[in-house]
Amino acid sequence: ARPVILDGDPGHDDAVNILLAHASPELEVLGVTTTFGNVGLERTTRNALTTLELVGAGTPVYAGADRPLLVPRLSAESVHGQSGLDGPLLPSPTRQAEDLHAALFMIAAVRARPGEVTLLPTGPLTNVALAFRLAPDIVPLVREVVWMGGSVDVGNWTPAAEFNALCDPHAAQIVFSSGVPVTMFGLNATHQAVATPERIAPIRALSRREGASAVGEVVAGLLEFFAEHHRDRYGWNGGPLHDPLTSAYLIAPHLFGTQAMWVDVDTSGGPSTGRTNCDVWNLSGHAPNANVAMTVDADGFYALLTERLGRL
Ligand code: BDR
Ligand code: CA
């Protein structure tokens, strides 16, 4: 199994990513690390613990950055509710996060298994950037960073910028310019994977089987809450399940089409700050520094997700 660290800001889609990774024997989850993002750090950490509690997983949780490197902190209660995980009834965590900063955990985990560990950040890249700055020796030892964030085309928080990129553009630029192999799942890819009522129904049905766990019901509740904002704002028939595409990519790469290109993050502080400028046509002549997801087999992804949630 491929060793991974799930770094995120749960968050509805981050929580589903945690569940998908835990249900998949292809992945060995070394730890779950948290950052500010959708809501503040205290809540994202609690939400990570809650998600693990739901499936009885004892994976260690490490809290990390409570703010961006330079810019003021943003949050997304408008999308995820006050708790960051509004919607279904969830268990209260019975344990706490470990007494080690997320960035320090990443450093130790990568050094312990050089060349093996893949980082799956699904929030602002602050923890990864901190780890790379504290311990530059780990950069060539990371197998890959598979990040949900950015966009080849439009943004979702400003016309130019996607939320995770906008939350900490400097951290994103540190990661993209580090030389580490990066695969980016931006909005241009994740918007292809909308959780429509037809895709939610089989997930809910998982809990209706005899002796089945509550996971299907809970995930269906999360996806329905997440759909509301996207229905109001975009007129879509559901919310795009952004973050779980990162785990799905490692489990079933054939579901995705990617293209190597140069990606440069706008840190100007101007109207396009936080934009990931993706050089699809190699207009700059720069060598590619990222593998960017372009196509998603959405039906294949939802079939995989439903089958995997059924194992929990
Ligand atoms: C990203 O922002 C967050 O709200 C989601 O969890 C996802 O990681 C999408 O822009
Ligand atoms: Ca997220």
Q: Is the CB of 193 under 6 A from ligand 1?
A: no
The per-residue pLDDT for 27 is 98
Distance 116 CA to ligand 2 centre (A): 24
Task: Report which ligand 1 atom has the smallest distance to the Cα of 148.
Answer: 8
Amino acid at 21: A
Q: What is the pLDDT of residues 54-85, one digit of tens each?
A: 999 999 999 999 999 999 999 999 999 999 99
> What local confidence, expressed as pLDDT, does residue 9 receive?
98
The ligand placed nearest to the CA atom of residue 163 is 1
Write out pLDDT tens, residues 192-204: 999 999 999 999 9
Q: Which pLDDT score, from 0 to 100, does residue 92 have?
A: 95
Cα 76 from chain centre: 15
What are the tens digits of pLDDT across the range 153-162?
999 999 999 9
Please work out whether the CB of residue 17 comes within 6 Å of at least one atom of ligand 1: no
- pLDDT tens digit sequence for 219-235: 999 999 999 999 999 99
ipTM value > 0.85? yes
Query: Residue 182: enclosing H or E segment and its boundaries?
Result: strand 182-185
Model confidence band, residue 16 (pLDDT cutoffs 50, 70, 90):
very high
CA distances 21 to 3, 250, 264, 289, Å, are 11, 10, 29, 26
Residue 121 CA, ligand 2 centroid: distance in Å: 8
Residues 198 and 196: their CA atoms lie apart, in Å, by 5
**Total Cβ atoms within 10 A of residue 155:** 20
Mean pLDDT of 94-115: 98
The catalytic residue positions are 9
Tell me the best of 242, 247, 276 to mutate to test the pocket of ligand 1, counting ligand atoms within 8 Å of each CB and taking the most: 242
The atom of ligand 1 lying closest to the CA of 242 is: 7
Helix (H) / strand (E) element for 216: namely helix 215-234
Ligand 1 proximity of 39 Cβ (cutoff 6 Å): no
With the most atoms of ligand 1 within 8 angstroms of its CB, the residue from 16, 47, 126, 163 to mutate is: 163
Q: What is the mean pLDDT of residues 268-277?
A: 98
Cβ 7 under 6 angstroms from ligand 1: no
The arithmetic mean of pLDDT across residues 285-301, rounded, is 98
Residue 264: CB within 6 Å of ligand 1? no
